């Protein structure tokens, strides 16, 4: 089994910056990443972007090249197309790549597994033709593909508007952008306006997306509710129903892209047994870490959106901070030098993070997406509805694990990634409790599919 000072999971902004910083301090580093090329989701395919026209995605995407170049030069063992399916408290990392399972040992481990889009349950969200906004953006970045018209976008948050703008620039005809942000959120977010002003650059950018969409003649409807997707005779999406300013409306649609923000990807940190806490503003779980990213399990760190949503700019700085602390723990950096490096980074981070409470509250999903109607499929794998989950909660199921045993909710191939937040929220709501109290699924390894052959041959090979 090969031993590294540091094994990093994920090659997005946090992982790339952390690997580069750690290698500079003399650590031996391996980076395991699920994708075929570095970049994570935000800088997906940045080493070979699909689109010829760089104006479509805009400069924030191509900023990723500034992380990629030093990462590519760094003395790092980079292992792409590797899915990590188990990490032990003894810091053994098991993963599969190219049909082979292997184990690495690590002095320190950094989880830089980033975010996933918050699943958006509403009636009909499982129909072919309905996708997440992030999925459409990934297709632009990696393949230069755009969804077929008529196209409707629906949801809340800056990414919804950014992707609408990118698709518009790509020449896609957009039938409407439906903003589901509840009116009350503006009042609630007002309390955090001080932080918003410190991070004004982000705000101006978001307002700019909306202004440019409107100026381009794209129909942008606000205060939309009661979103529902309906299939045609072929079983695929045909119509989008919603209420706008009290009036029921229907649009024909071949494609519907939905978005309700992003949440930390906690599958791996959960499976290791790291402590998590419920974040009341971001309405999601996040691993508990100290100011360097270290968790309650010594030697295991989390950096970037996987530790709580802060965005790409914050993620790369968090990756560096974690690396310097790990270098100090391993005797490659003394305390003074660590702090000399960290101080300007912490100063740069402050305004980037200051705007988060405002954004987090403003773009909290409407209740209809947090605790959807009874007829909404919650667990897409096992086809369990919100009504089923409510029924079991009323029968006395106190949390997601008990409800799973009764209904199979969360038992399918996605291992609860798509329903976990919703199930906890529905149970909490039904029992007049909180997600923090009802808890979350017990996640167990393997957290990614592997074949029995891979498992059986584990240990035969120890070369990276």
- The smaller minimum CB distance to another protein, of residues 127 and 455, is found at 127
Beta bridge partners of 32: 9, 79
Of positions 6, 109, 418, 428, contacts another protein by CB under 8 A: 418
* d(C-alpha 423, C-alpha 271), whole Å: 19
For the stretch 48-63, what's the b/e string if a residue is b when 16 or more beta carbons lie within 10 angstroms of its beta carbon? ebebeeeebbeeebeb
Contacts of residue 280, defined as CB under 8 A and 6 or more positions apart, other chains included, come to none
* d(C-alpha 195, C-alpha 200), whole Å: 9
Of 135-143, 185-193, 279-287, 396-404, the segment contacting another protein by CB under 8 A is 135-143
129 part of the interface to another protein, by CB under 8 A? yes
Burial class (CB in 10 A: 0-12, 13-18, 19+), 310: buried
**Minimal distance in Å, beta carbon 111 to another protein?**
15
* d(C-alpha 306, C-alpha 185), whole Å: 25
142 part of the interface to another protein, by CB under 8 A? yes
Of positions 55, 148, 194, 208, contacts another protein by CB under 8 A: 148
Site string for another protein, 252-291 (x = CB under 8 A): --x----------x--------------------------
- Report which of 329, 348, 351 is spatially closest to residue 338, judged by C-alpha positions: 329
Of 291-299, 302-310, 347-355, 379-387, the segment contacting another protein by CB under 8 A is 379-387
As a whole number of Å, the end-to-end CA separation of the chain is 9
Of 12-20, 297-305, 387-395, 445-453, the segment contacting another protein by CB under 8 A is 445-453
119 part of the interface to another protein, by CB under 8 A? yes
Of positions 55, 194, 298, 413, contacts another protein by CB under 8 A: 413
- The smaller minimum CB distance to another protein, of residues 11 and 210, is found at 11
412 part of the interface to another protein, by CB under 8 A? yes
Of positions 55, 75, 89, 143, contacts another protein by CB under 8 A: 143
* d(C-alpha 304, C-alpha 313), whole Å: 9
* d(C-alpha 391, C-alpha 406), whole Å: 10
Q: Two tokens at 379?
A: 């667990």
* d(C-alpha 358, C-alpha 191), whole Å: 8
Of positions 6, 19, 23, 45, contacts another protein by CB under 8 A: 45
Of positions 220, 414, 436, 458, contacts another protein by CB under 8 A: 414
190 part of the interface to another protein, by CB under 8 A? no
Of 60-68, 85-93, 381-389, 394-402, the segment contacting another protein by CB under 8 A is 381-389
For the stretch 385-419, what's the b/e string if a residue is b when 16 or more beta carbons lie within 10 angstroms of its beta carbon? bbebbbbbbeeebebbbbbbebbebbbbebbbbbb
Task: Say which residue the tokens 């990276």 belong to.
Answer: 464
The SS3 of residue 247 is: strand
Neighbours of 369 (CB within 10 A): 24
Per-residue CA distances from 112 to 19, 67, 126, 218, 264 (Å): 10, 15, 29, 37, 10
100 part of the interface to another protein, by CB under 8 A? no
**What's the residue count for the chain?**
464
CA atoms in the 13 A half-sphere facing the CB of 318: 32
Of positions 88, 100, 103, 126, contacts another protein by CB under 8 A: 126
* d(C-alpha 64, C-alpha 85), whole Å: 27
411 part of the interface to another protein, by CB under 8 A? no
**How many residues line the site for another protein (CB under 8 A)?**
53
348 part of the interface to another protein, by CB under 8 A? no
**Minimal distance in Å, beta carbon 216 to another protein?**
18
236 part of the interface to another protein, by CB under 8 A? yes
* d(C-alpha 52, C-alpha 169), whole Å: 13
**Minimal distance in Å, beta carbon 99 to another protein?**
9
**Minimal distance in Å, beta carbon 36 to another protein?**
5
Binding to another protein, residues 11-40 (CB under 8 A):
34, 36
Of positions 10, 13, 147, 399, contacts another protein by CB under 8 A: 147
- Output DSSP code: residue 383: T
Of 133-141, 158-166, 197-205, 315-323, the segment contacting another protein by CB under 8 A is 133-141
Residues making contact with another protein (CB under 8 A): 34, 36, 41, 45, 48-53, 56, 83, 116-117, 119, 126-132, 134-135, 138-140, 142-148, 170-172, 235-236, 254, 265, 380-383, 412-414, 417-418, 449, 451, 453
């Amino acid at each position: 089994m090969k031993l590294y000072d540091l094994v990093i999971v994920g090659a997005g902004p946090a992982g790339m910056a952390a690997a580069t910083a750690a290698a500079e301090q003399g650590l031996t580093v391996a980076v395991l990443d699920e994708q075929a090329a570095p970049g994570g989701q935000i800088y997906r395919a940045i080493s070979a972007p699909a689109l010829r026209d760089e104006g479509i995605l805009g400069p924030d995407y191509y900023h990723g090249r500034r992380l990629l170049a030093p990462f590519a030069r760094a003395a790092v063992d980079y292992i792409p197309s590797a899915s990590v399916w188990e990490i032990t408290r003894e810091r053994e990392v098991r993963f599969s790549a190219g049909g082979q399972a292997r184990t690495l040992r690590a002095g320190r481990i950094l989880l830089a597994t980033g975010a996933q889009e918050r699943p958006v349950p509403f009636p009909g969200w499982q129909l072919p033709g309905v996708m997440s906004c992030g999925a459409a953006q990934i297709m632009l970045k990696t393949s230069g593909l755009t969804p077929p018209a008529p196209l409707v976008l629906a949801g809340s948050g800056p990414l919804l508007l950014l992707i609408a703008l990118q698709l518009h620039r790509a020449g896609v005809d957009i039938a409407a952008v439906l903003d589901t942000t509840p009116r009350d959120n503006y009042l609630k977010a007002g309390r955090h306006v001080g932080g918003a002003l410190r991070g004004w650059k982000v705000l101006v950018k978001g307002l700019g997306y909306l202004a440019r969409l409107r100026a381009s003649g794209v129909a942008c409807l606000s205060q939309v509710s009661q979103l529902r997707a309906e299939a045609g005779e072929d079983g695929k999406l045909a119509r989008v129903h919603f209420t706008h300013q009290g009036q029921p409306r229907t649009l024909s649609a071949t494609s519907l892209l939905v978005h309700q923000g992003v949440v930390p990807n906690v599958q791996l940190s959960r499976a290791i047994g790291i402590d998590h806490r419920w974040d009341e503003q971001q309405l999601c779980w996040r691993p508990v870490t100290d100011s360097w990213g270290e968790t309650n399990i010594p030697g295991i760190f989390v950096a970037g959106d996987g530790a709580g949503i802060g965005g790409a700019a914050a993620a790369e700085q968090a990756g560096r901070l974690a690396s310097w602390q790990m270098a100090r723990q391993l005797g490659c950096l003394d305390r003074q030098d660590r702090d000399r490096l960290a101080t300007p980074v912490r100063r740069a981070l402050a305004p980037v993070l200051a705007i988060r409470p405002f954004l987090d509250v403003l773009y909290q999903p409407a209740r209809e997406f947090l605790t959807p109607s009874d007829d909404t499929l919650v667990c897409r794998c096992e086809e369990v509805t919100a009504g089923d989950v409510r029924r079991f909660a009323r029968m006395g199921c106190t949390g997601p694990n008990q409800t799973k045993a009764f209904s199979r909710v969360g038992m399918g191939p996605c291992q609860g990634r798509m329903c976990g937040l919703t199930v906890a929220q529905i149970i909490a709501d039904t029992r007049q409790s909180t997600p923090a109290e009802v808890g979350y699924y017990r996640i167990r390894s393997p957290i990614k599919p592997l074949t029995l052959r891979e498992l059986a041959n584990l240990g035969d090979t120890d070369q990276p």
